[in-house]
Amino acid sequence: MTSERLLYRFHREPVRLRPDSVLPAQREDVVLHTQDGLELVGELALPAESAPKATLVLLHPLPTHGGFMDSHVYRKAAYRLPALADLAVLRFNTRGTTSPRGTSQGEFDEGEGERFDVAAALDFVEERGLPDVWLVGWSFGTELVLRYGSVRPNLGRINGAILLSPPLHRATMEDLDRWEGTGLPLKILVPEFDDYLRPAEAHEVFGRHVPSAELVPVAGAKHLWVGEKYVQRVHQEIVDAVLGDDAPTLPAEVTGLVAKA
């Protein structure tokens, strides 16, 4: 969805952010090129009138179970965070994944060939000169972060990472140990009622292998973060991790230009 397809209305009085609320940004359909010759479709959203303070590279949930670049937490991050936190947001479909934006070439490869997809995203943000890059993984995307964010040349191009609902199905304890050795910050959001890894087990595993990580249990949440209050919580935790002391408190209501997706 590019800005040209949106119809903005100006609101003088505060209006509550809804799941389909879109705030102003520079939005561009992009294509990422992998080292093994594939084209991956995506979108880059930048602040409308200022330089980005930092960059999010979003790695989506499992495509064989409905995950794609428009998975709701990520779609709403692209709708909101360029305007509310001056962040650049890159989201894309990994190989073989389809969304309204289109289908990325290739086939799902159980997290193996996807190492080229992670590298292609980091190539792209580096070529664009985007600042302070953070990987954000959700479910399957956390496996890609843990496996490939901590290896060179990717390692030298990121400032840290955030995990949402890590299942630890494909990432190994060796991957966790290697991440600890990077010295990079890692923030982990674990839903109270996750389908795969709940807070007590997460504390045990990450506490043993990545003791420097910040693990945040989220009361009431489930693996898919359904519900606007959980989406807002995730977005705030991301902004806090990336911007630190400069992080704004994200509003639930806004004034000014708002479009409907």
Q: Please report, for the chain, how many H helices and E strands are present, in that order.
A: 6, 13
On average, the pLDDT of the chain sits at 96
Residue 4: pLDDT band (50, 70, 90) is low
Q: Read off the pLDDT of residues 25-64 as tens digits, 9 standing for 90 and up.
A: 999 999 999 999 999 999 999 999 999 999 999 999 999 9
Look at residue 227 and tell me whether its pLDDT is greater than 60.
yes
Residues 149 and 179: beta-carbon distance below 8 Å: yes
Residue 3: pLDDT band (50, 70, 90) is very low
Cα distances from 159 to residues 23, 65, 100, 172, 176, in angstroms, run: 26, 29, 30, 22, 17
Q: Read off the pLDDT of residues 168-200 as tens digits, 9 standing for 90 and up.
A: 999 999 999 999 999 999 999 999 999 999 999
Can you state the angle between helices 228-243 and 72-85, rounded to 10 degrees? 50
Closest CA to 243 of 155, 158, 134: 134
Cα of 40 vs its chain's centroid, Å? 16
Q: What are phi and psi of 16, to 5 degrees?
A: -75, 135
Alpha-carbon distance of 178 to 174, in angstroms, equals: 6
Closest CA to 54 of 65, 43, 46: 46
Q: What DSSP designation does 156 have?
A: G
Peptide bond into 191 cis (omega under 30): no
End-to-end CA distance of the chain: 8
Give the predicted TM-score (pTM) of the model: 0.96
